[in-house]
Amino acid sequence: MTDPKPGAFTTLFREALVSTLETHVTKLGIDRDGWLKDADAAFRKKHRQQLRTLNAQALAERKRDEQRAFIRNSRHPAIEQHKELARIARAAGRSMRIEHIEIEPGQYIAKRVIDCSRRDLLVLAAQYETKARGMLRRAAFYRTLERQLALAGIEEFETLSDWIERQDAS
């Protein structure tokens, strides 16, 4: 017989369970301990040559299951970073938003975030930071203007035009 396929242990052991079940069914239920013992013996007898490979595969599958469980439940910084990147990748894969990246002054390329290189992402971040600084300056200007109007005695519902008219009138 050839080497068993990965995951074959479960299938082969279930065959042994099925083949030995009938001898352990009683009026009171199933003799589980005896059944497991006989199934194990039947399995070892039938798959003696493959047992080492099957045990190695079963152990490898169990290790992978433990690794997946550890990753799901871990708070290790490297694993958290991996989870965060996976979350971002899923969101970027669903997004149809096109970013316009300035490769040279006046020259832009259009790409989805999922298609951006690390360099493209840095350029895009710098573009947004520049835009954000401009927006912050504008916000600071409007706050200053509002404070000046308040100091000049302009009510909340009045405008800069009202103040200009008052200045022209005086």
Q: What is the pLDDT of residue 110?
A: 95
- The model's pTM is 0.52
Q: What is the pLDDT of residue 77?
A: 85
Average pLDDT for consecutive 10-residue bins of the chain (170 residues)?
61 87 84 90 87 84 88 83 89 93 92 93 95 96 95 92 91
Distance from C-alpha of 47 to C-alpha of 10, rounded to nearest angstrom: 13
Strand (E) positions, 72-136? 98-104, 107-112
Q: What is the pLDDT of residue 32?
A: 87
Domain residues of the chain, as ranges? 8-73, 117-169
Distance from C-alpha of 52 to C-alpha of 47, rounded to nearest angstrom: 10
Do the bridges between strand 107-112 and strand 98-104 make them parallel or antiparallel, or are there none, so unpaired? antiparallel
